[in-house]
């Protein structure tokens, strides 16, 4: 079965965006050691899942061939099929992207049951929080930036019960970001 991974930038106080989704707190540019770490994380991925709000920025940015990104990364981001989770869209306005609506758990289980490589999401905030709250992720990759912002969009939502995680690995990079690779603990 395919693995479903979350890769998200976060602050040390647990936010993936400011109160209005601001990302001005992120440590940029990444150092070469971060890029070398991320490559193997994405290598087995052949499907990207996005929330509608994130898709509205993510897909057009990669289509514009953003400055500072390698052509290999741009091609991978543009050519990898995407599923946009939305209950408000009925069809995709983007190339190489389909829309899926309805029960999130059912959508994720159907995607994981299909043949293929790993699935990855970077959010948006509501999608990531829902995936965490419903226990639908196989791996969580937090890229913790050395900054606290005090308020914003939390990575971990208000949970109904504790979610115990196992730290698989951690790595600190030259730019100050620390990557935490976590997996849900089987109770």
Tokens 């940015």 — which residue? 61
**Closest among 98, 109, 164 to 131, alpha carbons compared:** 109
**Closest among 23, 82, 30, 18 to 56, alpha carbons compared:** 82
Distance CA 64, CA 181 (A): 30
Distance CA 117, CA 43 (A): 9
For 114-169, write each residue's pLDDT tens digit: 999 999 998 788 899 899 989 999 999 999 999 999 999 999 877 777 889 999 99
118: alpha, beta or left, given left = phi > 0 and alpha = psi -120 to 50?
beta
Contact assessment for residue 96 and residue 79, using Cβ atoms and an 8 Å cutoff: yes
DSSP state of 19: T
Token pair of 108, please?
Answer: 């994720």
Q: Where are the domains of the chain?
A: 4-184
**Closest among 63, 169, 87, 76 to 120, alpha carbons compared:** 76
**Domain at 4-184, CATH class:** alpha beta
For 53-79, write each residue's pLDDT tens digit: 888 888 888 889 888 888 888 899 999
For 72-109, write each residue's pLDDT tens digit: 888 999 999 999 999 998 888 888 999 999 999 999 99
């Amino acid at each position: 079965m395919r693995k479903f991974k979350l890769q998200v930038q976060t602050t040390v106080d647990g936010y993936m965006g400011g109160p209005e989704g601001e990302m001005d707190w992120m440590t940029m540019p990444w150092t070469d050691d971060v890029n070398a770490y991320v490559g193997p994380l994405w290598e087995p991925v052949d499907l990207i899942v996005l929330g509608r709000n994130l898709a509205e920025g993510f897909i057009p940015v990669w289509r514009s061939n953003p400055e500072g990104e390698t052509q290999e990364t741009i091609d991978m981001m543009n050519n990898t099929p995407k599923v946009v989770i939305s209950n408000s869209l009925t069809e995709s306005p983007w190339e190489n992207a389909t829309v899926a609506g309805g029960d999130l758990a059912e959508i994720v289980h159907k995607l994981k049951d299909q043949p293929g490589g790993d699935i990855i999401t970077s959010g948006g905030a509501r999608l990531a929080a829902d995936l965490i709250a419903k226990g639908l992720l196989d791996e969580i990759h937090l890229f913790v930036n050395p900054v606290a912002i005090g308020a914003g969009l939390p990575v971990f939502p208000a949970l109904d019960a504790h979610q115990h995680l196992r730290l698989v690995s951690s790595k600190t990079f030259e730019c100050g970001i620390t990557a935490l690779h976590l997996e849900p603990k089987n109770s």
